[in-house]
Amino acid sequence: MSWPERLQPINPSANTVVKDEEKKVQTHATSETEDVDRKNRLDPKRYSSWTRLVRVTAWIKRFIKNCKSPSQSQNMSRVLQNSEFDEARTFWLRKAQTDSFPDKVKDKSPLGFSPFLDKDGLLRVDG
């Protein structure tokens, strides 16, 4: 006789247990720390000009912003906007001031001038 020799009738009243499919979930977490290795930071000495440094910084800032944004609000333009250049330029000017005058930027009193922080956080003097 050929296979199957005999078919088993289906019994709807039989208690059959169907196990739920077990799904394994794997999660990943990252954390951001302030103590980043200095070799991984953007080093202005590696760039041949101020313009190139500002342009690279603007692209990096756009990349970071796009990574944090939902895909529909990402900026995929191949051209940097003036506001992106301004933000990158302000970043480096603020960094230069805080590196050169770490205490003076906080207390705002270098050399007896009347310094103030502008809307971008840059140290300015009246004069």
Q: What is the pLDDT of residues 11-54, one digit of tens each?
A: 666 666 666 677 777 777 776 665 555 556 788 888 999 999 99
Residue 55 has pLDDT above 90, yes or no: yes
Contact 43, 57 (CB under 8 A): no
**99 burial level (CB within 10 Å; 0-12, 13-18, 19+):** exposed
What is residue 4's predicted lDDT score, i.e. its pLDDT? 63
Q: If DSSP codes are grouped into helix, strand and coil, which group holds residue 46?
A: helix
What confidence category does residue 99 fall into, taking pLDDT thresholds of 50, 70 and 90? confident
Q: Which residue has the higher pLDDT, 109 or 80?
A: 80
What is residue 103's predicted lDDT score, i.e. its pLDDT? 73
Query: Nearest to residue 42, comparing CAs of 91, 7, 2, 106?
Result: 91
What confidence category does residue 86 fall into, taking pLDDT thresholds of 50, 70 and 90? very high
Lowest mean pLDDT among 7-21, 59-73, 89-103: 7-21
Q: What is the pLDDT of residues 101-122, one digit of tens each?
A: 777 666 655 556 777 788 888 8
What is residue 63's predicted lDDT score, i.e. its pLDDT? 92
Q: How many CA atoms lie within 13 A of 59 on its CB side?
A: 8
What is residue 110's predicted lDDT score, i.e. its pLDDT? 53
Tokens, residue 27: 């999660």
